[in-house]
Amino acid sequence: MLFRYKKSFEKIAMGLMSFMPKERELKKLQQTMHIYEENPDWQLFLWKKEDDFVGLLGLQVEEESYTIHHISVNPSHRGEGIGHEMIGKIQDIMQEREMRATEETDAFLKKCPVKKGDL
């Protein structure tokens, strides 16, 4: 299940985001978290499986599109389809907006089932 980020999830979110190659340095990770906390167009979501948060999805929302900047799944839960589930759920939430990828998220998003008009 997808949950919208809130400050009480900060350590969990930072841990999950640190699995992204460009977010491994603490200073860079803190800067990225600051963007999500301060800019309403940047939205962060966590995926909860049973009692644990195991995935993270970060996006920038624009009027007619949204860009997936971060997608991360705890390594012990990879291969279970969690990334695909997160993408499917965000497509439902964003409805008619076009989904876009960054250079870092493009390869994964091309593997996901895509709804009409995305990528």
Kindly report, residue by residue over 54-96, the tens digit of the pLDDT.
Answer: 999 999 999 999 999 999 999 999 999 999 999 999 999 998 9
How large a percentage of the chain has pLDDT more than 90?
Answer: 87
Q: How far is Cα 86 from Cα 118, in angstroms, rounded to an integer? A: 15
Is beta strand 98-101 parallel, antiparallel or unpaired with respect to 65-73?
parallel
Q: Give the mean model confidence (pLDDT) for residues 12-23.
A: 94
pLDDT of residue 111: 86
SS3 call for 59: strand
Q: How far is Cα 29 from Cα 31, in angstroms, rounded to an integer? A: 5
* Residue 75 contacts residue 81 (beta carbons within 8 Å): no
Q: 34 pLDDT band (50/70/90 cuts)?
A: very high
Q: Hunting for tokens 């499917």 — which residue is that?
A: 88
> If we measure between CA atoms, which residue out of 43, 46, 42, 10 comes closest to residue 29?
10
Q: What is the CA radius of gyration of the chain?
A: 13
pLDDT of residue 112: 81
pTM, whole model, 2 decimals? 0.91
Q: 13 pLDDT band (50/70/90 cuts)?
A: very high
